[in-house]
């Protein structure tokens, strides 16, 4: 089983782009989509038997949509119950003896204030991000890189 995990808060404008992407994905056999507010340790145990995982998150510093491989963090830096994608993979490795191959799809975000709507610019990125995610879902080998 592969997973696509959309991260973010739909009440904070562009932060909700990960959840919106999950809601818009086509169904692909053997791939599960999950929308989460934050990455928490419970998700590690769901990934024990996963082959691949794609994290989708809005990033305020990103200039363009980018897809990149991520490895389990060897030196995680956390202070609470919220994990980064790499740290979550590291925890999965520790608890399951195995971590799925990880990718991070970064989507530029511009507005993170209160609101349930995406900004116009983030909304324009959404179809592109969905296309990349669906290509990833259907292919075991996805090229890394970005798209404008």
Partner 1 sequence: MKREIKIDPVTRIEGHAKITIQLDDAGNVADARFHVTELRGFEAFCVGRTLWEMPSLTARICGICPISHILASAKAGDAILAVRVPETAVLLRRVMNLGQIVQSHALSFFYLSAPDLLLGWDSDPATRNVIGLGAKDPDLTRRGIRLRAYGQQVIERLGGKRIHPAWAVPGGVNQPLSAENRRWLQEHLPAALDTIRFTLDLFKRSFVNDEMRGALGEFPSLYMGLVAPDGTWEHYAGGLRIIDGAGNILADHVDPTHYQDVVGEASEAWSYLKFPYYRALGYPDGMYRVGPLGRVNVCDRFGTPLADAELEEFRGRGAPSGRIIDYHYARLIEILASLERIERLLKDERILGTRIRAEAGINALEGIGVHEAPRGTLFHHYQVDENGVMRTVNLIVSTGQNNLAMNRTVRDIAAAYIKDGKLSEGILNRVEGGIRAFDPCLSCSVHAVGNMPIALELIGPDGTVVDRAVRD
- The contact set with partner 1 (CB under 8 A) reads 8-9, 11-12, 15, 37-38, 41-42, 44-45, 75-82, 87, 90-91, 94-95
- Rank residues 30 and 79 by Cβ distance to partner 1 and give the closer one: 79
The answer to whether the beta carbons of residues 107 and 125 sit under 8 Å apart is yes
- Cβ atoms of 36 and 6 within 8 Å: the answer is yes
User: Nearer Cβ to partner 1, position 26 or 38?
Assistant: 38
Give ∠ CA 121-123-124 in degrees, rounded to 5.
Answer: 65
Distance, CA of 2 to CA of 32 (rounded, Å): 6
- CB neighbours of 106 closer than 8 A, spacing ≥ 6? 57, 58, 59, 62, 65, 66, 67, 68
Least distance (Å) from partner 1 to the CB of residue 2? 21
Closest to partner 1 by CB, 78 or 128: 78
Q: How far apart are CA 114 and CA 20, in angstroms?
A: 16
Minimal distance, residue 37 CB to partner 1, in Å: 6
Smaller CB separation from partner 1, 93 or 137: 93
Q: Chain centroid to CA 17: how far?
A: 10
Nearest distance in Å: CB 143, partner 1: 27
CB of 138 to partner 1, least distance (A): 28
Least Cβ distance, residue 95 to partner 1 (angstroms): 5
Of 65 and 89, CB closest to partner 1: 89
């Amino acid at each position: 089983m592969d997973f696509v995990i959309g991260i973010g808060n739909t009440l904070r404008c562009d932060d909700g782009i990960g959840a919106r992407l999950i809601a818009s994905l086509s169904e692909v056999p053997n791939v599960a989509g999950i929308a989460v507010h934050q990455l928490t340790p419970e998700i590690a145990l769901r990934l024990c038997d996963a082959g691949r995982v794609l994290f989708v998150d809005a990033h305020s510093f990103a200039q363009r949509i980018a897809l990149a491989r991520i490895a389990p963090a060897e030196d995680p830096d956390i202070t609470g119950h919220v994990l980064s994608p790499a740290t979550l993979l590291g925890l999965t490795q520790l608890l399951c003896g195995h971590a799925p191959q990880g990718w991070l799809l970064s989507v530029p975000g511009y507005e993170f204030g209160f609101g349930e709507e995406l900004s116009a610019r983030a909304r324009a990125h959404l179809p592109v991000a969905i296309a990349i995610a669906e290509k990833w879902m259907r292919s075991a080998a996805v090229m890394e890189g970005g798209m404008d």
